[in-house]
Chains A and B, each alone.
Chain A
């Protein structure tokens, strides 16, 4: 007597092998795409980099040369102000969620944070336009920062929450048992113990917004001149890439490639910092 499925066995084995190779093949093509794109960006970009990109402002249309100093300064300004605004709020909400886990209100807040993460960035740009740019009558660097700060919140909140709930309760109890207030317990015991995770949440947030253009189009707008005033419009690297990429001038394209490679390297650097943090900077309990 033979098992009744023995005839199908050969075919099933073949099918299994085909399936496995399909999984391998498609996965490897994903990896290949990553390398193709990065290679292209770096090849185009590094060749385009020169000192002028970092040290000069844009030349008028038609003239070759010039750089994106104004946009580098602008990006740093818009992103760091966004971080200054978002980090205290994001960490606070994260603390609240970790502290009130399981309650109905905090479940709703957590859902709202998740949904906020999925809102198209351009919509956030419109809202900030209506809130700030329209009433004040002018584009401004700080309005862009506010738009980006809102986009930064979800990763900061989620990382803070997830880090804090992993800290043993006994630690919090130890501090409270010494008579420390909840505030001081949080600031001096909980946050230092979770600093690695919270910090990487902040970096993820910065990495998320550093390359954004859509929310800046009608807030920070753009400015070919070097500007340090947060009340005035300002250029950012991604905005310049967008403007130049849509232009017909080769030299502008060159500068845009330079900007792309600066931006991508910066974000990859941030990602690397996060990985190092997650693996190395762990508090032992």
Chain B
């Protein structure tokens, strides 16, 4: 009797493990279907023109996503560009120059602290510190000087990306076979040459994957950007212009969206964000997995 219960309990446990695991796997598919179904009215009403429509006028039920698309892409790529040298340098410092020891370990933990600060606090901090600085630059350039805009958002976003890209790239770099490095040193190369001609080229796919995953993160980053981008649904003129991103338009307008099509359109924006970040993450993860074996 007791034994039978133990057998049953064991069977239930094994079944539970596979069921929750499979549910976790199909969660992404369920997300996709949820978003697709909920945005279907908007997809039908807005058509393909939605993607390159320049006007966002919910009152007139006129929805064009181009301003958000442009805003998102410029902000993300700019932040990636700003953070790249810092990320690579810190990854080299921790993965190649000083991979072990107390001080590098402290450094790594300090950089990881950047990931401990919530997005909304970054936004708030940026509003008090980065925005006034940018505003001064704008005044010098004789431009309207609101302080907030693409540039401000990108700077803060680039700081937020650093811990993420550093840890990904450091892992890739530290996996470089020692024999390869030694071969290059044995030929008389300097350390800079070993790094630029051996370490970086051999790991280029892993490093790119690290940046790709960071880009995925930048595309979906919401709160800090929402606070700092200026929330203007127009195509930006330059990198100082106030703009809007896909994530922040959802954050700002979702609860105020009156009318089915309006809400559905915002979900459509979410669907696009989901699809793009999913693809980026699948590609990035597959590359990382390939290079780690």
What is the interface of chain A, defined by CB distance below 8 A to chain B?
Answer: 5, 12-13, 15-16, 18-20, 22-27, 29-31, 33-35, 37-38, 40-41, 44, 89, 92-93, 95-97, 99, 105-106, 108-109, 111-124, 126-127, 129-131, 150, 153, 157, 181-184, 186, 207, 210-214, 217-218, 221, 238, 241-242, 245-246, 256-257, 260, 263-264, 267-268, 271, 275
Contact = CB atoms under 8 A, between A and B. Distances in A.
B274 A123 contact: yes
**Nearest 5 CB-CB pairings of A with B:** A211-B118, A120-B220, A26-B89, A19-B192, A118-B281
B270 A122 contact: yes
B119 to A, nearest CB: 7
Given A27-B90, A120-B219, A120-B247, A242 B120 contact: yes
Interface string B10-50: 10011011101110111110010011001000000000000
B118 A30 contact: no
Contacts of A267: 116-118
A169 B35 CA distance: 43
Contacts of B190: 12-13, 15-16
Contacts of A26: 85-86, 88-90
Contacts of B116: 207, 264, 267-268, 271
A130 B125 contact: no
B202 to A, nearest CB: 18
A77 to B, nearest CB: 18
B137 interface: no
- With most chain A CB atoms within 10 A of its CB, the pick from B192, B193, B213, B250 is B192
A149 B281 CA distance: 20
Contact of A126 (B6, B216, B270): B270
A106 B22 CA distance: 9
Given A118-B280, A157-B24, 17 more contacts: A13-B190, A15-B190, A23-B97, A35-B110, A92-B16, A92-B21, A109-B21, A118-B281, A121-B222, A127-B31, A130-B35, A182-B13, A241-B124, A264-B116, A264-B118, A264-B121, A267-B116
Contact of B21 (A22, A41, A106, A121): A106
26 contacts: A16-B192, A23-B92, A23-B97, A25-B89, A27-B107, A29-B86, A30-B86, A30-B114, A44-B128, A93-B20, A109-B22, A118-B217, A122-B270, A123-B270, A123-B277, A127-B34, A183-B6, A183-B9, A207-B116, A210-B118, A238-B120, A241-B121, A242-B123, A257-B124, A271-B116, A275-B109
Nearest to A268: B116
Contacts of A5: 188
Interface in B130-161: 159
B285 interface: yes
Contacts of B122: 37
A211 B120 contact: yes
Given A16-B192, A20-B192, A122-B250, A245 B220 contact: no
Contacts of B90: 26-27, 30
Nearest to B96: A23
A129 to B, nearest CB: 8
Interface residues of B, number: 89
B285 A111 contact: yes
Contacts of B117: 37-38, 41, 211, 264, 267
Contacts of A245: 120, 123-124, 127, 227
Interface in B191-205: 191-193, 195-196
B180 interface: no
B193 A30 contact: no
A184 B2 CA distance: 14
Contacts of A256: 124
Interface in B231-286: 247, 250-251, 254-255, 266-267, 270, 273-274, 277-278, 280-282, 284-286
Contacts of B184: none
Contacts of A246: 227
B13 A119 contact: no
A23 B89 contact: yes
A253 to B, nearest CB: 8
Interface string B77-121: 000000001101110111001000000000101111110111111
Contacts of B159: 33, 37
Contacts of B13: 182-183, 186
Contact of B124 (A13, A111, A218, A260): A260
A109 B24 contact: yes
A95 B15 CA distance: 12
- With most chain B CB atoms within 10 A of its CB, the pick from A15, A122, A182 is A122
A24 B192 CA distance: 13
B7 A181 contact: yes
A40 B129 CA distance: 9
B240 to A, nearest CB: 21
B192 to A, nearest CB: 4
B288 to A, nearest CB: 9
- With most chain B CB atoms within 10 A of its CB, the pick from A89, A120, A124 is A120
Contacts of A268: 113, 116
A130 B260 CA distance: 13
A111 B188 CA distance: 42
